[in-house]
Structure 1
Amino acid sequence: MKKQLFWIFLFFIFIAGRVYSQTNYVATAPASVTPGSDNTLVGVGAGNLNMTGASNLFIGRGTGTLNVAGTQNAFLGTSAGNKNSSGQNNAFIGFSAGTSNTTGNNNTFIGSGSGYTNSVGYNNVFTGYRSGYFNSTGNNNAFYGTGAGYSNTQGGDNTFVGSDAGGGNTIGLSNVFVGSLSGVANTEGIENTFVGAQTGLSNTTGSYNTFLGTLSGKSNTVGLNNIFLGHSAGFSNTSGNQNVFVGIQTGRNNTTGIANIFLGFAAGYTNTTGASNTFIGNGAGYQNSEGGSNTFIGANAGTSNTTGNGDIFIGALAGGNNSTGSSNLFLGFAAGYNNNGSANVFLGNGSGNTNSTGSNNIFVGGNAGLRNNDGLRNVFVGDGTGQYNANGNRNVFIGAGAGSPSTAPNLINAVAIGTDAQVTASNALILGNNVNVGIGNTAPNAKLELTSSTSGLSGLRLTNLTNTVSTTLVNQTKFLTVNAQGDVVLGSTTGSGARLAVEDDGLWKTANNNIQNTNEGGVIIGSGIQQTPAGYRLYVSEGILTEKVKVAVKTTGDWSDKVFGSAYKLRSLNQVEKYVKANQHLPGIPSAEQVVREGIDVGKMDAKLLEKVEELTLYMIQLKKDNELLRKKTKMMEKQINVLQRHNIN
């Protein structure tokens, strides 16, 4: 039966057509008297005005009716390519497909009304009922699905796949919409990629977005440079920019927040305007609304954060209940779980777990600062350190278990260093738990052992207890000294068995109630002494302050009484004057250079100075005698003058 219908159909075509050119097969006669060649025209009005076009296939009523010079076109369906004049290499299949195309080339329109308005657009592929319906000049577009790219007019390089995908696009460029209603409202947005039913549903002018997953970026209108991957990811985003949401319902309520990265189921779910956040992990930053510049990594990390800023929570449940605390760093499972304080650093599972409003704390180690509540500026380093601190401030606990007991939870400025070291009072420092402390050594044998790098020095200095400080106790017979091993022991001058400090090095001995050196040299007190001339036993720098100094003189010859002796030769003043002019100092007195070089002997200098005083005395006695003689002579002269004056008058 089918074969019979086929032959009847061919016979009908044969008897209905009239041949005007040897190479044309015409079922409908063209109007031109000089029709093109190699055309196939089937249908009322098909290629009716064809003149020079060649190698065209027009099948259907009104197909290619206005074609003049168009070549290598295939129009199938009523009114398909109806207005094509010179367009080439087009394939229009379906009722009114490419109806308005005039000069557009290399287009493929499949589906009723597809590419209906296209006039000069080229390199387009529209497949589906009314797909690319209003496209006029848009180029290089691919629309697949009923109504896909329906409103596109001038937009180019777009790919819309799915019912009504990109249905509202007008001039948007380089978009890829895959899925029913994906990018349906897009008008001018460019370089977007929407994959999934209703993805980017409300996008109008937003550009450079990538939405993958049903309903992802559904509310986005003008947001730019966003990547939403997962069912409902970035669902409410409208104008937020530069966001990356990966995971089902990640950033679902984000509206205007920018530069956020949410990775994991419901991560950043409640975020609306928070910006520059990074949430990685299921439920991470779930309730964050306006907090910005946060980094939450781990399941439910920072899940309760709302407005806290600049926080870094790494680990499952880290900062889980933090809502408003800012500038915190929590690393470890449940670290800082109940925190609302700011500027804290908690490193270790459970560290700072109970902290609520305490700020500026550093807790390092598992359960470090576990019960800290409102304490401020504490530093706890070590597993379980500061476990019982509640409201204490400015404490430093270093070492596993170091801290304060449960009976002292509120200490201030306390320090405990060492495993299990415990401090029970504020403003106190505890080193270790029943340990020896060594400074300058590696194996201390006492509670505190100091090893100085300089022999003869203990390495211990008491700044406010120097030899210039007046003694607190006097007339005591006990004192501190050291034994042969360097241990500090209590000594006594009353025969307790301890040796005197002055005897320990063998350079000193006691003589009655005095201390006497046993060596042949002298004693130097102070620094900076460069010269130690022979004949002296004590050298002191920077001077000696005393209320009484008595200098002994061995013989009378060392003193200056000799000046008054008859055998003493006293220089005349003329001789002294000449000497002073020549030497710039008195005879018998050392020069300044000699004093600097050799110093002065106080006893001898006093004798010399007295000698000069006695010489002055002798000079004064001589001057007195001379004055008396002059006075007598003056009186005699006055008498003689008076006698002469009376004689002259008479």
Structure 2
Amino acid sequence: MKKIYLAVMTCLVFVNLAQGQALQNVTSAGDTTNYLIRITGANIPFTLTGPGLELGYLSGTGFLQTYNRTTTAFLPLALNGATITTNSRTLIANATDDGSTALQVNGGASLTKRLYLNAAIEGNNIFQYGSHLEFHNTRFTGGMAMTIGQNNSGLIQAFSSSAMDGSLLLNPNGGKVGIGTASPDQVLTIKGGGIGFDGTSSDKKLYSPVDGTLEWYTNNNAGEHGFALSHQGTRQVYLNTYGNSYIIGGNLGIGTKAPQSLLAVNGTITAKKIQVTANGWADFVFDEHYQLPTLAEVENFIKANKHLPEIPSAAQVEKEGQDLGAMNKALLQKVEELTLYIIRQQKQMDAMEARLKAVEKQ
């Protein structure tokens, strides 16, 4: 009865195979270590030639493979629409078993869509058609997501269980980050461009056009061209240096957008001390060869011009402003000339007083 049952089952196996195929048990007689069941693409029973699907047991290890024994080459094995379940670990491409990891791959892994770790959810993924990879912590309260969109746009996010609001740290314990370069020489090195800010990044950016120059770039149509530094929400600029600071090139305006000189201030300057250099000084007045103008000459000049000699007129100052160094020099010249006039008058008064006393004695 048992022999009849086995014969019936063998017939059923051959009947259920597609026409032109053969089921072969090619195990050698008496071999209790190696077993092989083979399905070939042609009706050639009990042979080990050509391609076939093989299910075997070799030296204590089971295997499933597609193999061409004529060319001794492994063929692709397609598992279409299948769900593979294992109660142990899966090793791919001769990976070394570490004794704990469920899936171990010796080499790279190519993904066509998404890879989820620890049953990760996609979260607030902004790419509808792309590759997505998520790493979660053990409590599933947060993690990191990396996504590549269909237009080759990339996204790296750190997220909590409810929103993409986690902190993203790059090399917190050392190392360098390069953007546009594979060899960063600073903690953050950017090559090939600048840093774009809110608005049109091509119109508002911070970059280095040449070595040694850091430039804040805006175009002529920008609403504000300046670079504001804020302190607690108020636009204030603090510059603390331990060396010399300088501005070279162009005019600097304070309170004005149209400076006409190296430094133009539209307002009041408050200072404890202002030092102005001048070319020469007015001490030439005391030279013995200096020709001191007579008071009559000075009077005639004042009547004709309505201002002192060597002193600019009110109209000239209003139009051109005044040079503090030149003005102090001119005013000192007038003070020194006035001093000489007083000394001369004092000598004349002393002489007149001496003559008066001589007349009184007579």
Shorter-chain TM-score range: 0.3 to 0.5
Higher normalized strand content (fraction of residues): 2
Q: Larger C-alpha radius of gyration, 1 or 2?
A: 1
Q: Which has the higher helix share?
A: 2
RCO comparison, higher one (Cα < 8 Å, 6+):
2
Normalised TM-score (structure 1): 0.21
What TM-score do you get using the length of structure 2 for normalisation? 0.36
